[in-house]
Amino acid sequence: MAGRTVRLDVEWALWGKEPGDHDYRVLACSQSGLTEQKFDQILNRFSIGTPDTLPQVTIVWSGREDGEERIGIAIHESSATPDKVGRRIAVTRYFCVRYEQLAYQPVSYLALYRRLRTLRLPQQGELRIDVDRMRPDEIASSVNEQVMSTAALLLTDKSVCIVCDDKVDLDERLLFLDTVAAMLPYGMRSKLSASTWTSSTAQHNIRLSFTTDARDEAHNVFWGRPTPISSEAQTSQEYMRLLLNHADRKSLIARLAQATDLMGFGPRQSRLPLAVLDQSYREPAHGVDALRETDRPEKVVRSLADALQRQDVDAAKSFIGRLKYLSHDLEVQGRRDELKQILKEELLLSPRPWLEGDYVEEMYGSLLRLTFGRSLSKRTLNEVHGIVHGVFSPLLLDALARMHTYDPVASVSIARRRSSEALQKVLTGYSGAELVHAAAGLDADESFIDTVCKELARRYKSQEGMDSGLAEALERSGFLGGVLETCYPGQYKRQFELMLSLLKVAYGEGALGDQELESALNGTKTMPSRALLSAVAYLYGSGAGDALTDRFLRKKVEEFDLTTTTRDVIRKNMAQRRPKPAPTGGHPVLAPRQDTWQQRADLVRHERSETGWWRRTAGWWKRQMDYLLYLLLSASLVLLIVMIIIFAMEQTP
């Protein structure tokens, strides 16, 4: 992300008194995000007292007010007009920027102040300004030991006062504050309040400020004098040591500037800054906490959506970069449902012609990774389909195609939408068996089956890429009979034709032999489809009926695991030919009943002889036991109801 300047959307408020006003109040504000009331709260919270000299600048964070972190800068100036009773008053122009805008494009406080100092406030609405990006080399030149120790002292729970007189001017003060802030992880700016002046008698909420007098309850840093860190402030000492260890200050600043995760002050989080400088300080519990708190893909995606809405190219690019980073971090877990919702609501997957294609594709990729995980499945594709309402832009298809996928259905589906070349390329990547396997899967749809059939036919024809496993795969899948039936319901002709082609792929041209018939029909445990049966019968030629009976039906029946006796009977039945019909005048001749009954009697007899009387009596006992159990259960149920009624009656007076 090149560019020396950073474009920011600034919310603002004007705080002061109209000539007739008794009281301080918000006189005007941008009225976009923060309300007048919120501004009032923020400005009250970071009141600095009544400065003798103006202007003064206060760095104000906010986040409590509406749950969104903002970095603000309050410029206190003297008003040319008095208040109602003729007193001198200060007017505060307050500007704030969402932290996300600043997180990946750091800006110094001084640059912000210089840009905002002379800015005229509009009537209403946010301001859009360009500010110079923070340059580590510039700041590095101002770093000295006092700056470092001030930064280190900020890691305690006390505030830090820089005690100096009026001779230190505003720019110098701001630069100092900037340099101190640069010595801290950038994310701490989201919670840093700092001011070029505070009243030393005031009970204010500013963490880092210049004052005229030392305060008892704060760390006092005397301007231009050595700043020892007491041994009690152990974290500060450690941090100071780590800072001093970095000889290259420019890279130190750059490194700290990259630590954009939100980070607060105070004892609970005091080790986080140490961890930024030295990984060995990372404490798992805290580290994970911090990650969870800060890396919220949902928030970044929202901000991105915002930037896209504004067509703010720089911001969008910055957020895309951030997303990419997040999407590759295995620890990051977004709330996928929420992300999906955002994608849908904000139309994030729709085309962005004004943004360079690379960025768009990058964005799609990151969004997809974050929302659907790293691998693409048909289900994912269906969801994406739903999000984009079936309209896939080429870049989105590219991004989808780039995702890992082991699912031929998904990849073929994408490739088919892209181009025939892409489709061919994808298809060649799969073996025939894989294709068949995928086609037999639940996700396969009509077009996939169609594609697979065509591809297999093509391969057969050109004799390329034929694999040994293909025939077996086809057999196993019952030559996709079930799938064909579902995909082409009622289209028997089509099913039949496809089946013929598949059989051809498996067994080659020409009639099927007995062996082939057997393999084709017996590959699956389930019953072959009607299309397969018809095709086999068709290809087998004459004698197909007997062949089917002998080599398929018989086997199927035998597979049906019955007792040997029963199986024998079935076998016998199957083997017996039906008597030829009598040549008498067209009347159907029924099979002799007697035979049948005779056979049944045999069957029963055989069973009895096998199981004996015990089995029969056991059945009787079992029935008796069941009956008894049933009786017992009913009785206990009745008893329970009676008890409940009695209990209930006792309860009522």
Residue ranges binding another protein (CB under 8 A): 17, 19, 22-24, 40, 43-44, 47-50, 52, 80-90, 157-159, 193, 199-207, 211-218, 265-266
Rank residues 124 and 201 by Cβ distance to another protein and give the closer one.
201
Tokens 């209403």 belong to 124
Residue 289, classed as helix, strand or coil, is helix
Measure the CA–CA gap between 456 and 465, rounded to whole angstroms. Answer: 9
The type of residue at 442 is L
Give one word for 56, left, alpha or beta, with left for phi > 0 and alpha for psi -120 to 50. beta
Phi and psi angles of residue 13, each rounded to the nearest 5 degrees, phi first? -150, 150
CB of 23 to another protein, least distance (A): 5
Q: Which of 58, 90, 55, 50 is nearest to 169 (CA)?
A: 55
CB of 22 to another protein, least distance (A): 5
Q: How many CB atoms within 10 Å of residue 564?
A: 8
Tokens 């509406």 belong to 66
Rank residues 43 and 422 by Cβ distance to another protein and give the closer one.
43
CB of 393 to another protein, least distance (A): 48
CB 384 within 8 A of CB 349: yes
Question: Is residue 476 classed exposed, middle or buried when 0-12, 13-18 and 19+ CB atoms within 10 A define those classes?
Answer: middle
Rank residues 208 and 254 by Cβ distance to another protein and give the closer one.
208
Tell me the β-bridge partners of 222: 163
CB 512 within 8 A of CB 537: no
Rank residues 223 and 359 by Cβ distance to another protein and give the closer one.
223
Measure the CA–CA gap between 484 and 495, rounded to whole angstroms. Answer: 6
Query: Is the N-terminal amide bond of 267 cis, ω within 30° of 0?
Result: no
CB of 116 to another protein, least distance (A): 20
Structural tokens at position 54: 């103006």
Structural tokens at position 523: 């590959």
Sign of CA dihedral 470, 475, 479, 483: negative
CB of 289 to another protein, least distance (A): 17
Tokens 């070029």 belong to 196
Angle between helical axes of 145-153 and 170-182 (0-180°, round to 10): 70
Structural tokens at position 452: 């697979």
CB of 100 to another protein, least distance (A): 23
The type of residue at 274 is L
CB of 43 to another protein, least distance (A): 8
Rank residues 56 and 366 by Cβ distance to another protein and give the closer one.
56
Q: CA 150 → CA 106, 364, 605, distances in Å? A: 21, 44, 103
CB of 83 to another protein, least distance (A): 6
CB of 157 to another protein, least distance (A): 7
Rank residues 213 and 558 by Cβ distance to another protein and give the closer one.
213
Structural tokens at position 120: 């005229």
Cβ neighbours for 467, distance < 8 A, ≥ 6 positions apart = 431, 432, 433
CB of 154 to another protein, least distance (A): 9
Rank residues 215 and 416 by Cβ distance to another protein and give the closer one.
215
CB of 227 to another protein, least distance (A): 18
Rank residues 90 and 367 by Cβ distance to another protein and give the closer one.
90
Q: CA 540 → CA 234, 480, 507, distances in Å? A: 90, 19, 12
**With b meaning 16 or more CB within 10 Å and e meaning fewer, what string describes 164-196?**
beeeeebebbbbbbbbbbbbbbbbbbbbbbbbb
Rank residues 149 and 524 by Cβ distance to another protein and give the closer one.
149
Measure the CA–CA gap between 221 and 237, rounded to whole angstroms. Answer: 15
CB of 38 to another protein, least distance (A): 13
The type of residue at 501 is S
Rank residues 44 and 245 by Cβ distance to another protein and give the closer one.
44
Rank residues 84 and 374 by Cβ distance to another protein and give the closer one.
84
Rank residues 98 and 204 by Cβ distance to another protein and give the closer one.
204
Angle between helical axes of 336-345 and 357-372 (0-180°, round to 10): 140
Residue 166, classed as helix, strand or coil, is coil
First to last CA, the chain: 81
CB of 16 to another protein, least distance (A): 10
Rank residues 203 and 652 by Cβ distance to another protein and give the closer one.
203
Q: CA 555 → CA 380, 510, 521, 560, 561, distances in Å? A: 42, 25, 10, 9, 11
Rank residues 20 and 489 by Cβ distance to another protein and give the closer one.
20
CB of 293 to another protein, least distance (A): 16
Rank residues 271 and 437 by Cβ distance to another protein and give the closer one.
271
CB 12 within 8 A of CB 121: yes
Q: CA 431 → CA 400, 413, 478, 622, distances in Å? A: 22, 17, 18, 57
CB of 429 to another protein, least distance (A): 59
Rank residues 50 and 311 by Cβ distance to another protein and give the closer one.
50
CB of 119 to another protein, least distance (A): 23
